[in-house]
Amino acid sequence: MMDAIMEWFTNEAMWQKYVTVTIKIVLIVVVSQILLRIIQKTITPMIDRNYDRNILHIDERRSKTVVKLVNNIVSYVIYFIMALMILNQLGIQIGPLLAGAGVVGLAIGFGAQSLVRDIITGFFVIFEDQFGVGDVIQIGTFKGTVEEIGLRVTKIRSASGERYIIPNGSIMQVTNFSVHNSISTVDIPLDNQCDMESALNVIKEAVQTFSAQHPDLPNIPEVLGIQTIAAGEMIVRISMETKANTQFQLLRQLNETIKKALDTNQINISASVKK
């Protein structure tokens, strides 16, 4: 036994073979990673050029989505080829393995219909531009910003930080909040005893000031007038159009601007609110 062990350790041809195979595997891994990085670095500028020139009619939203998807596909293909090359270096015949994988894949395919449905649904989500990376959407009870659309799953991040991973095949209905501008309303409750005309003028001036501070607003907010009159108060309604997903911050800022203007002009809010 000692002779066999010594012969194994002193077998120069065997060690040369092991070292050669190891070096080849390392080179395959390194070259695969370099190739993956090069392709991924090339994909983004190429799609960005198409977006700038409007060759493929890809907008900015869709551009981010396509980049993510293509990067995923390229990664799967390169890792698959890398695995086959490594198996070949280890002396495993790839031909019979691929043939067997085809038969096994066919058998699995009948039992993996949900996986196929996920991939097909994901394809149509991108093809029909239902939503893209960066959009705020709601799928069922899950609402958040789309981080990634993959071949099988869609990943969205909620406003409080949770990440939801949703199989594409389970997406039955989607609400996209990022496609069109939002129309928001602001109700200002004023005391019935205040001068109505003066209050409306102050609010209109505050709205004009707010609009001048936010030149990116699609339109100047519109003071619609008195919406309702109740015991002790009257409600002044304002309609504001904002770009998608910016309405909440702008509504808070508009409320702050109007409140400062009312305080400066000594116009009281309704007694019911003050309580």
What would the pLDDT profile of 125-184 be if each residue is shown by its tens digit? 877 778 888 888 888 888 888 888 877 888 999 888 889 999 888 888 888 888 788 888
Helical segments of 131-224, H only:
196-213
**CATH number, domain containing residue 156:** 2.30.30.60
**CATH number, domain containing residue 30:** 1.10.287.1260
Closest by CA to 166, choosing from 219, 125, 220, is 125
For the record, the structure tokens of 52 come out as 């700038």
Q: Which residues of the chain have pLDDT under 50?
A: 52-57, 273-275
C-alpha 167/C-alpha 186 separation (Å) is 38
Q: With contact defined as beta carbons under 8 Å apart, do 114 and 169 qualify?
A: yes
C-alpha 17/C-alpha 12 separation (Å) is 9
> Does residue 42 share a domain with residue 94?
yes
Return the pLDDT at 164.
Answer: 92
Question: Does some domain include residue 116?
Answer: no
Residue where one domain finishes, among candidates 111, 143, 167:
111
> Does residue 106 share a domain with residue 154?
no
Q: What is the pTM of this model?
A: 0.52
What would the pLDDT profile of 42-62 be if each residue is shown by its tens digit? 776 766 655 544 444 455 566
Question: Does some domain include residue 251?
Answer: yes
Return the pLDDT at 98.
Answer: 62
